[in-house]
Structure 1
Amino acid sequence: MTQTSGHLHGLGGGVPPTVADVDRIAADGDPVVRNLRITHCYHELSRALAGTTGGWANWCTFAVWASKQVGQTIRQEDLVRVLDRLLRSSPEAAAAVDLVAGGLRRAVPKHAVEGVERLVRQAVVTTARLDAAGAAAARGNLKVFEEIAREFARFLAEFADAPAYDEERITRFVDGLRPGEPPEGQRYLRQAFTHYHRARFTADAKERAELLLLANVEVGLHEQTRLQPEIAAALEAPVIDPRDLERRLFDLLLPGNRVVKWLRLALLTVLGRRTPVRVAAERLADHARALARRAVTRHLMTLALPGGELLDLAEDLRATFPPLLAELVDPDLLALLRTVDPTPDSLLDTAARDWADLPDRMHYIADMFRCHAQRADLLDPPFTPEQVAALTAGRLPTGQL
């Protein structure tokens, strides 16, 4: 790998991000900007490693597009729109909205209830804790980056000048990683970087392809095990308290009448009464909570790839294995796939039914890595040069992110 000054973007050219670069990005306190910088850093790491392995995808290649998708959840893009659409399209939720609207028409002045159904849906969205889902996504994005990207940066720096496979040198490198099983142990990362090192120097194209797939799945298994708490937290985040929903409704319907609203709510609390609005809000909250979780799940289970392609992780993969990976022979790869892929050499049942379920996720991810291992456009930059310039300057870029 040729060393030059600055971060270039040619495949395999320029200096890849350093450990210090990764640490600086991880220290960024703005979760939105940090996510964008993380995504771009993954891109630079991906291309640097791909430049030494014949252009095949590595774990960072897929991390680019996963991090970009997570950014939408962090920024809550489309989540509000999706939840509002679900509230309107669900018969149960629509009936519950009508019930709340009817109770409000009896509880507040007539002039305040114009367009009340829209206000009810707005109140649901604002009390659904979608921000908590975004916060969990941001924690996971940072957690994986500051551990795994740091090791990729360390690996690229350590072996930039390696002329050949060096068993002693790679052993010293992986000794810097913790033994043991994830989430705390880094056994799979130790194995993965050994396989990446071997893949760089093998002359056999099929052996290289299988070594890279093995390394990618090993890093993926470590990553997904580490992410389990954050994924579960994001999916469980939407919680709608009927009392909060009722307060929000009165805020929207009686703006400025704070004393009246406070007296009304205080009186209801003292008397322990469950008004028709409260009863209806409780029913709506139950339906809305399920819909909000569905909206978050949809966000987490969609992966946007270059060219506008969307992978719905709840559907079987619609792809084929590249010729070099159509029939696998590496014994270590076959052994690992037996633990994560219940349908060997098939894309049937790859659809993830429960994204909070680790084996369910890994089945899809392992086959996705295999199908798209030689897809050149995955190495394309996720952002425009103008957006990268803004990020480099510490600003939030404009345009579609």
Structure 2
Amino acid sequence: MVDGITPERVREIVAMADQPVLRNLLITRGYHRLTLAMAQLLGQGDFAWPIFAVWASKQAGQFIREEELGAGVSAILAARLPGLPVGVAVGAPVRRALAQVARHVGGGNTIVFAELGEAFAAFSAAFAEPAARTEERLADVVGRFSEGPSLPDVVTLAADGALERQPQGGQTMLREALHYYFMALHERSPAIRAELVLLANGLCGLHEQTRLQPYIAGALSAPLTDLQGVVEGPVAAALGVVVRRAATELMMTMALPGQVLRLGFDLPAPPGQPLWPDGLARLEHPRLVQLTEELGAYEARERRLGLADRVEDWLGFGGPEAQGSGADDWSQLGDRMRYIFEYFRSRQRDASLLAPPFSAAQEQDMLAGRVPAGPL
């Protein structure tokens, strides 16, 4: 266990509904602590799902704080509609649309942490001592989560604009992931352990992206819905398109230490590293291969590559890339998961992602219940 990230602390952070910005920062910080805790357990440089959640949660913060998205909207409006007064970009209708985008992204950020944050907090605490790594202890951890398929929430808007959610389905996929992490704790073969961790990471990713579906779709549709009937004529349509475009561009960008990924393009290799780390260049575990087939990744993806991708791969333009992995439509679960799985696979041993997301001073502010000043 690292720095007191317990299931109880996860629930305390999730309950901070009246402080969405601080809650997001604490979620991001919490994922980093869970990353370090899981790294202590697994060893050997194969990193578990929370290491990817750190940077996704930090990216979500740009929506939740609204000002970055608002600046993007203003910039796009100035370029596309130079005759439109700048004040329109920050007027009440657009602010309302931005607030709805923030609510959807914040809702998704929170529900994922509520489930997976608790799972990794419980797992890392239960198995901190090697002697405690028993099947009986695993049953206790897994028993926290319900049987049933991963399903998206039913999300509706209340009269005051708040999100109301009705959870659906269960957590069988998350339970399965915890089993594979447990197997990795006991596995001595580096290659097999790497595949077990990737399989668990992929299952966590598929579960959380399924749960996120209405929040992502809602964030992208909110501008078009909110601006209808509020601003008249072609200006309304233009504003809706611009806000959605800015949200989509921000949503399909992932800032990592030393690199910015554009999720609509094929995934590049980590800087100075091969595309796939040792042990993951060729996947053999039957359940892992089955998952890649379901996600349209790995050999299934390679079989469907078009001529342009194949020529680019043969000629080696732009360095190693996961050809055909770029997402066409981030609102589609299949598009997201094709990219996300390859991202997990390529960065599973990328130690640069262990970097803390915030400075020591910023962390002290958050622990004191304050939102740090300045850029985050």
With the length of structure 2 as denominator, give the TM-score of the two structures.
0.83
Structure 1 residues 242 and 356 mapped into 2: Cα distance closer, same or farther (>3 Å)?
closer
Distance in 2 of aligned mates of 1:169 and 1:242:
54
Across the aligned residues of Structure 1 and Structure 2, the Cα RMSD in angstroms comes to 2.0
Q: Which has the higher contact order (CA 8 A, sep 6+)?
A: 1
**Residues 16 and 48, structure 1, Cα contact 8 Å, conserved in 2:** no
CA positional deviation for 1:143:
0.7
Q: Answer yes or no: is 1:173 the counterpart of 2:124.
A: no
Structure 1 residues 165 and 132 mapped into 2: Cα distance closer, same or farther (>3 Å)?
same
User: 1:231 matched to which residue of 2?
Assistant: 216
**Residues 303 and 311, structure 1, Cα contact 8 Å, conserved in 2:** yes
Aligned length: 331
User: 2:74 matched to which residue of 1?
Assistant: 84
Matches within 5 A, 1:189-208: 189-208=174-193
Structure 1 residues 119 and 380 mapped into 2: Cα distance closer, same or farther (>3 Å)?
closer
Aligned partner of 1:156 among 99, 124, 139: 124
Structure 1 residues 243 and 180 mapped into 2: Cα distance closer, same or farther (>3 Å)?
closer
Amino acid at match of 1:162: P
Q: Answer yes or no: is 1:362 the counterpart of 2:337.
A: yes
Distance in 1 of aligned mates of 2:33 and 2:49:
12
User: 1:216 matched to which residue of 2?
Assistant: 201
Matches within 5 A, 1:226-375: 226-239=211-224, 241=227, 244-245=230-231, 281-307=232-258, 309-319=259-269, 320-344=275-299, 347-375=322-350
CA positional deviation for 1:323:
2.3
Q: Deviations over 1:328-350 (max 9, x none)?
A: 11111111111012452752221
> 2:261 aligns to what SS in structure 1?
strand
**Residues 242 and 282, structure 1, Cα contact 8 Å, conserved in 2:** no
Amino acid at match of 1:335: Q
Aligned partner of 2:11 among 23, 34, 37: 23
Amino acid at match of 2:73: L
Moved more, 220-229 or 46-55: 46-55
Structure 1 residues 400 and 120 mapped into 2: Cα distance closer, same or farther (>3 Å)?
closer
Q: Deviations over 1:183-231 (max 9, x none)?
A: 2211111111111111122111111111100000000100000111111
**Residues 59 and 254, structure 2, Cα contact 8 Å, conserved in 1:** yes
Distance in 2 of aligned mates of 1:151 and 1:17:
11
Aligned partner of 1:74 among 53, 64, 82: 64
Q: Answer yes or no: is 1:395 the counterpart of 2:367.
A: no
**Residues 124 and 288, structure 1, Cα contact 8 Å, conserved in 2:** no
> 1:52 aligns to what SS in structure 2?
helix
Distance in 2 of aligned mates of 1:149 and 1:16:
13
Q: Deviations over 1:14-64 (max 9, x none)?
A: 455111111111112300000000000000011100112123221100000
**Residues 73 and 243, structure 2, Cα contact 8 Å, conserved in 1:** yes
**Residues 150 and 170, structure 2, Cα contact 8 Å, conserved in 1:** yes
CA positional deviation for 1:176:
3.0
> 1:324 aligns to what SS in structure 2?
coil
> 1:227 aligns to what SS in structure 2?
helix
Where does the alignment leave 5 or more consecutive residues of structure 1 unmatched? 4-13, 102-116, 246-280
Distance in 2 of aligned mates of 1:372 and 1:287:
38
Where does the alignment leave 5 or more consecutive residues of structure 2 unmatched? 152-168, 270-274, 303-321
Distance in 1 of aligned mates of 2:57 and 2:228:
34
Calculate percent identity across the aligned residue pairs.
40
User: 2:309 matched to which residue of 1?
Assistant: none
Aligned partner of 2:42 among 49, 53, 65: 53
> 1:311 aligns to what SS in structure 2?
strand
Distance in 2 of aligned mates of 1:51 and 1:334:
27
Structure 1 residues 15 and 76 mapped into 2: Cα distance closer, same or farther (>3 Å)?
closer
Amino acid at match of 1:290: V
With the length of structure 1 as denominator, give the TM-score of the two structures.
0.78
Structure 1 residues 354 and 124 mapped into 2: Cα distance closer, same or farther (>3 Å)?
farther
Structure 1 residues 52 and 352 mapped into 2: Cα distance closer, same or farther (>3 Å)?
same
